[in-house]
């Protein structure tokens, strides 16, 4: 009997967006213009190519963010059940796996730091200034 409620909720969850999209498609004004089919609708004429080279550091910083975001997602539930886990399996069995997990992430952060992933590219003026200071 409880599956009927789940099925009804699923139908409503799928039905409401479909009905809204159909209503907006039927009620919207249709004014065909060439400018609507352009790449940019702001009135600016597009210039240049569509292929832009991005600095690889954007991807590296995003990857590091994802890794440490996942770490945070795993640490919060662990911290919530930590006291219960100590009572069930003891301090060593509850703490050691998480310390190993955090240790692996610290080694990864140290590697990223040492290889310069977390250092952002400096402008030529800043590089010249740091060279003068170091000498």
Closest by CA to 58, choosing from 128, 121, 134, is 121
* Mean pLDDT in residue range 51-79: 82
Which stretch, 3-12, 61-70, 123-132, has highest mean pLDDT? 3-12
* CB-based burial label for 11 (10 Å; 0-12, 13-18, 19+): exposed
User: Could you read off the pLDDT of 83-100 as tens digits, one per residue?
Assistant: 888 888 888 888 888 889
User: Could you read off the pLDDT of 37-64 as tens digits, one per residue?
Assistant: 666 656 666 676 667 777 777 788 888 8
Chain-wide mean pLDDT for the chain? Answer: 81
Higher pLDDT, 105 or 127: 105
CA–CA dist 117, 59 (Å, integer): 10
Domain range list for the chain = 56-134
Alpha helical stretches, state H, 1-135: 2-27, 56-89, 91-114, 124-134
The reported pTM is: 0.48
């Amino acid at each position: 009997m409880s599956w009927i409620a789940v099925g009804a909720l699923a139908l409503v969850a799928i039905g409401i967006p479909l009905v809204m999209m159909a209503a907006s498609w039927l009620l919207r004004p249709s004014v065909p213009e060439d400018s609507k089919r352009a790449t940019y609708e702001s009135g600016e004429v597009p210039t240049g190519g569509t292929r832009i080279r991005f600095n690889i550091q954007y991807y590296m910083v995003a990857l590091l963010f994802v890794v440490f975001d996942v770490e945070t997602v795993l640490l919060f539930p662990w911290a919530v059940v930590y006291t219960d886990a100590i009572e069930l399996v003891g301090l060593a069995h509850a703490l050691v796996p998480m310390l190993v997990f955090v240790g692996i992430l610290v080694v990864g952060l140290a590697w990223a730091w040492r290889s310069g992933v977390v250092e952002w590219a400096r402008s030529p003026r800043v590089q010249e200034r740091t060279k003068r200071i170091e000498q």
